Each structure stands twice: as structure tokens, then as C-alpha cells.
Structure 1
Amino acid sequence: MIALLRAAVPLFLSMASGMVGSLVVAGVLGRHATVTLAAFAVMTAVLTPAAGAVAGALRGLMPFVAPHKDEPVRALPVLRDARWLALLVGLAGALAVLAVPPVGRLAGVPGAVVDELGLLPYLLALDLLVIAANGGANTVLIALGRNRQVLWSSLANTSVVITLSVLLVPRWGLDGMGVAWLGAGLAGVLVSETCLRRVLGRPVGHARPRWKEIAGLARVSLPLAGTVLVKFGGLGVATFAAALTTVAEAAAHSVLGTLTGFTFLASLAVAQAALPEMARAGGVAELRRVARTAALLAVAASSLGGLALLLAGDVLVPLFSADPAVQAGVLAVVPLMLLASTIDAAQAVQGFGLVALKRSGASLRYFAAGYGLLALAAVPVARTWGIAGLWTALAAVNLLLLVLQGTGFRRYSAWVSAEERA
């Protein structure tokens, strides 16, 4: 347990630094102009799931790389194949980002907001391609047990995006934001690539695509990217449903979503740190032991974050809204939000266990079922019971996913031997 916790801490700090950078960026944009912040919100509606899908696809490399922890150089052929797959996924994400201005106009987004985007779609699309061309170096470092080096990459990214945002946004608006984002991406990639080269003792290099091996990687990576998109889609429907209630409840739902991100960080770090250990497990008993330990740590981490929020809610919530009605709405639903977040932490570990078993397709099916039900129920639930009903529904969906993914994990872990996973 101590080893797993030690591996998770750098990942948590890495994610936390990224969130701090995002908060600073939002603050800088909001102080520049309201239309600038509105345009950035339109862009992030597409950028966030696109970047999440790319990250999810890259995370699917872990079970292929993790068995080579003691001899990292043996992972080179896998890494070269992965770069071809990452470029394909990154290209799809970049095209989605480039489509924001024309799709926004067709969807009725005000012309002033679309015009404000300027060069931002092109710069962010380029940033996605840069990250994809890196072939998931940070993911590989995690798979090889070099989690501390991932933190340096994240700190480089965050420091550059904050510095350049403060310097460039007041002068260039969203164009400056795009330059800052691209510069931060390049800085993070440079650090992670340098760290990976030191671990391997040589550069990854390039090779002709081995389409059979790339297809094998895709069978794990693409469903994992799909689960990210399904989750974003389901949560997007829930956000839309919240907007059909009152203004105060819609705002409270937004604040609750932000707070969930904070409480989920630690549990996600634990789950991600456990994935390589599960992929390297020498047998079913060891695999399930790692999964149980990770689940306990993830739930404990989420619960501690929730306890802190419950104790300091009167101080923290006003930081997000000065409206007493919004504050009251948030504080009333916090217990339901924490319940949903804690269950989500437990199910995430089971999902990462399926990835370790190279069965991410099962997770995609489970997510499609769970979030499909949420999409169908969100609007009538919100209209009848408000955001309290929505967060009850979210907790129910997470519980369903916990049962489905836990059952699937036990089923596939009994079928797949350690030799097959390697």
C-alpha cells in the first residue's frame, strides 16, 4: 500500500498543477473581456473531450509497456508503433478543434463570440498534434514506474502557460492564449521526452508502421478514448438538464462539477498508478490484491477530500459564487456530490484494472450503458427533482458502473493469465 501511495503522490501533484494552471488561465481571460471568456468556453467545450480522448488513447499503452519495467529498452518497438496510433488519434482531435468556428456559427453561437476565437483553433489543433507526436511519453514513464519525472513535465507546462498567459493575453486576447497553450505543450513535451530518453538510454526513433501491432494497440487504446467521450457526453447532457431548472440551481450544478474535479484528482492518481502494477502482476491473486489496495486508497482519498469540503464548505463555496442562493444550493447537495464522487473513485479502479487486462472494450460497453441511461433520465429528473435529483442519478450511474466493471474485472481476471497480459 505504501509503494502504491508513493507512486500516486507525484501523479496527484501533476494533475493538481494542471488544474491550477487552468484556473489561472480562466481568471486572466475573464479579466481581459467577457466575450473572450465566452469564446474560450465555446472552444473548451470541444477541446476538453478531444484532449481527454487523446490522453485516454495514450493511457491504453500502459499494459503493453509496463511488463518491460526492468528492461525499458525492450519497449522501443511498442513505443514506435504507439506514435503512429497517437498521431492518428491526435489528428482526429485536431480536426474536431478546427471545426469549432464553422459548427459554432451553424449552431447559432453569436458572431462576435465566434470572431473572437481568431487563431486559437489553429494553435490548439497544433498543440494536440504536438502532444500526439510525443507518443505519450508521460504515459510510458508512468508505465515504467518513473512517476516523479512526470511531475517535472507537468510543472514545466503549468509554469509556461501561466507566465505566457499573463504576458500575452492582455495584448493579444485569445491569440495570446493559443500561443501560451502551444508553448506550454512544447515545454512539457520537451521535458518528458528528455526524461524518457534518459530512462531508455537512447531516443525512441522512428520505424515503418507495423499495422498488425498498431491494430493490437488500437483495440485497447481506442475503446479507452471512447469511454472518455461517452462520459463527457453523459455529463454534458446532465449540465444541459441542470440549465432547465433555475439560474441559481444551474450555477450551483456548475460549482459542484468543479468541486468534483478536485475530490476526484487523488483517486484518479491512485488508479493510474495502480494500472502498471496490475499489468505486471504475476497471477490472478496478485492482480486482485493490487486492485483491492488501489480501491481502498482511492476511496480513502476521495473521502478525505469530501470531509475537508464538508468541514470548510462555508469558506470554500463563496470563492466560486457570491450569490447566497447559489451557495445554499451547493451546500445542500454537497453530500450527494461526495457520495457520487466516492463511488466514482471505486469504479475507476475497476476500469483501470480492465485496461491492465487489455479489456477496455468492456469498459466502453459498460459506460455506454450507464451514461446512456443518464442521458435518457437527466432532463425528466432535473425537471422533477432539480439538481439534487441529478446528483442522485449520477451516484446511481456510478454505482451501476461499479457493479458492472467490478463483475467484468473479476470475470476477465479469471480468464486471462499473466503470460497473455505480457
Structure 2
Amino acid sequence: MTRVIKGILRAAVPLFLSMVTGMVGTLVVTAVLGRHDTVTLAAFAVMTAVLTPATAAVVGALRGLSPFVAPHRDDPAAAVPVLRDARWLTFLVGTAGALAVLAVPALAGAAGVPGEVVAELGPLPYLLALSLLVHASGGGATTVLVAFGRGRPVLWSSLAGTAVIIGCAVALVPPLGLTGVGIAWLLSGLAAVTVSNLALRRVLGVRVGQGRPRVAEIARLARVSLPLAATVLIKFGGLGVITFAAGTTNTRDAAAHAVLGTLTGLILVASVSVAQAALPEVARAGTPAEARRANRAAALLALAGTGVAALALLLSGDAVPSLFTDDAGVRERVVALLPLMLLASAADGTQAVQGIGLTGLKRSAASLRYFAAGYGLLVLAAVPVAAGWGIAGLWVAVAVANAGLVVLQGTGFHRHSARVGRVPVGA
């Protein structure tokens, strides 16, 4: 177990750092926009309401390639046919995401967003749609690098993209506004994809290229990748309903919920990076015991990461909430609800490990069913719970839903991992 933990941790650290650098880039863009103009910042918020889940769905679909290439770690060139098939799938998923981004102005207008905010978008949807296509055109290079145990190039790719987006945002947003953001995002994506694909070319020793579409093989990839993308969308949709329900309480509680949600995202970075690092280990397992050992090690590391973050937040008092708000009442609510949020985050991180572990077994459709059940009930309960028990009740509901998912996904992983080494996984 110790050897497995060390291996996962070694792979998870570069992934964790790459996620953190990506978040830094986004925060800098938001800060620059906030200083530029309020309407511009509002328009960017409208854009990200669709861009974030669309990007996350594309990333989720790309992550579904890992169990197909991880078994070729010792002979990377043997994975080239799979990567060629993957490029067709990622192009289709990226196109769907790009179309969703292009629809933002129409959706915003129909939703009653003020006309001046919609008009402020300008060419941004087109630039961000191109950026999403660029990301998809990379064919999941970063996912493949992780599957081959090459996490360090993933960090370099993230650093390159972050450096470009920060430099371009500072230089282009003052004169161009949101158009400058779009250009920065597009150039950042080009830089990151270029670095990751050059690194992958060195690992493979050959050029991937673009082969003729093998429909049956692409369908095999889609059966794992698309349910994973759908799971991401369900989670974003569910969290959106929770945020809406929090907004029906009162202004102070809604603001406290926003801060808690941001802190949750930061805490989960460690769990997600660990889960991604463990996915190839699960995919390469030759026996049920090996698969379960890798999954168990990842769960322990995820809980440890959450525990460290929880201790730091609890010991800091209201110092961390003070970074997000000057309102003493909001800070007081955040501090009072921290234990509930941390409990929900610990359960969320653990269920994420189980869910991504199921992807390693090529059983992401099972994870999708569990998620639809858990978050479906949460969505149905959100508004009534908020009306009766406020945001404290909402966070209890989130914690219960995540705990239920730990049980469902954990039981599912144990059941499906029993087939490892006996029949072809995914058969």
C-alpha cells in the first residue's frame, strides 16, 4: 500500500500544481476585468456561466480516454491507433461545447440579461468557441501524458498557458475589453496544447496524425467518455440549482454561500488531482485486489488533503473569509458553516475518487447513474430545504447527498472491480 500511495502522490503533485496555476490565471483575468469596467465584468460572468460547464464537459470527455491508453504505458507507440480514434471523438465533443458557447448571447437575451451586458460580449463568444475547439483538437494530450505517468509535462503545459493568459490579459484588456480576454484565452489554449502535444510526441516517438474514422472503436471510447462528460454537467447543473436556492434566502446568506462554494472548489483541487493520478493505476490493474488497492490509496490521500485544508481553515478563523468579503455578518456566517462545508467537501472528494475509479474500470455509465440519482434528489429538495432551514439546511443536504454518493460509488466500484482480470474490463 505504501508503494502505491507514493506512486499516486508522485503523479498527483504536478497535476495539483497545474490546476492551481490554471486557477491563478482565471483569477488574474477576473481581477483585470473588475478594474476595467463593471459592465464588462458582468458580461464575463454571464459568459463563464456557460463556458465553465462546457469546458468541464470537454475535459471530462477527454479524461475518459485514460483507461484505453494506460495499459500501453510500457509501449506508448502502441496507443497511437487509440489516439487517432480519440481525435475524432474529441472534435465532436469540442464542437458541441463550442456551439453552446456561441449560443450565450441568445440565451442571455432570452433570460432577461440587460441589453448593455449582452452587447458588451461582442466577438468574445466566437473567440472562446475557437479556444474550446483548440483545446479539443489537442486530442486529450494531457490526459494521455497522465496515463503514461508523465505528469511533469502537464505542469509545463499549464504554466505556459497561464503565463500567456496573464500577460495577454494585462496587455489587451485595458484597450480591448472582453475582446482582449477572448484573444488571451485563445492564445493561452494554443500555447498549452502546443506544449502538451510536443511532450506527447517525444513520449510516443512518432507523430499521431489523423487516421480514417473507425466507427466501432470511436463508439467504444464514447461509451466511457460521454457518460463522464454528462456526469460533470449534472454536477454543475445541480450546484447551479443549489446556488439559486441559496439566493432565495437573504442577501447575507447568499453571499456566505458564494464564499463557501469558492472555498469548496479550492479544497477539491487536491482530491481531483489524486483521483486523476490514480485512474491509470486502476486501469492497469491485473486483479481486483490491485484495483481496490489503488482506489483505497487514492481515497486516503484525498481525505488527507481535505483534512489538511480543513485544519488550516478552522485555525485561520475569519482570516480566509476576509479575503472574499468585508461584511462582518457574511464572515460570521461563513465561519459558522465551515464545519458543514468541510464535511460536504470531504464526502465530495471521496466520492470523486470512487467515480473516477469507475472510469478507470470503463464503467463511467454506472457512475453517471449513481450521480443522476444522488443529485436528482438533491435538486428536488433544494428549494424546499432552503425555504425551511436556510443555507445551513442546504449544506446539510449537500453533505448527505455526497455521503450517499460515497456509498453508491464505493459499492459500485467494489462490484465492478471484481471483474478485473476475469473478463475484459468494459465488456
TM-score by length of 1: 0.99
Distance 1:374 1:127 in 2: 33
Equivalent position amino acid for 1:110 in 2? P
Unaligned segments of structure 2, at least 5 residues: none
Distance 1:317 1:107 in 2: 32
Which of 144, 167, 190 pairs up with 1:186?
A: 190
Equivalent position amino acid for 2:276 in 1? Q
Task: String of CA shifts for 1:298-338, please: whole Å, max 9, x gaps.
Answer: 11111111111111142111110001111111111111000
Which of 221, 232, 246 pairs up with 1:228?
A: 232
Distance 1:234 1:177, change over 3 A: same
Measure how far apart 1:384 and its partner are: 1.3
Structure 1 contact 310–334 (Cα < 8 Å) conserved: yes
Unaligned segments of structure 1, at least 5 residues: none
Query: 2:280 matched to 1:273?
Result: no
Equivalent position amino acid for 1:337 in 2? M
Tell me what 2:167 maps to.
163
How do residues 97-176 of structure 1 correspond to structure 2 at under 5 angstroms?
A: 97-176=101-180
Measure how far apart 1:383 and its partner are: 1.3
Distance 1:418 1:151 in 2: 36
Structure 1 contact 281–418 (Cα < 8 Å) conserved: no
Distance 2:124 2:55 in 1: 15
Percent sequence identity over aligned pairs: 68
- Secondary structure of the residue that 1:190 maps to in structure 2? helix
Structure 2 contact 318–332 (Cα < 8 Å) conserved: no
Distance 2:409 2:7 in 1: 25
Measure how far apart 1:421 and its partner are: 3.1
Tell me what 1:317 maps to.
321
Tell me what 1:364 maps to.
368
Moved over 3 A (4+): none
Distance 1:85 1:418 in 2: 29
Tell me what 1:216 maps to.
220
Tell me what 1:382 maps to.
386
Measure how far apart 1:284 and its partner are: 0.6
Task: String of CA shifts for 1:60-87, please: whole Å, max 9, x gaps.
Answer: 0000000000000000000000000000
How do residues 335-414 of structure 1 correspond to structure 2 at under 5 angstroms?
A: 335-414=339-418
Measure how far apart 1:416 and its partner are: 3.8
Query: 2:99 matched to 1:57?
Result: no
Measure how far apart 1:2 and its partner are: 1.4
Structure 1 contact 63–421 (Cα < 8 Å) conserved: no
Structure 1 contact 138–192 (Cα < 8 Å) conserved: yes
- Secondary structure of the residue that 1:135 maps to in structure 2? coil
Measure how far apart 1:417 and its partner are: 2.6
Equivalent position amino acid for 2:43 in 1? A
How do residues 18-33 of structure 1 correspond to structure 2 at under 5 angstroms?
A: 18-33=22-37
Distance 2:190 2:279 in 1: 27
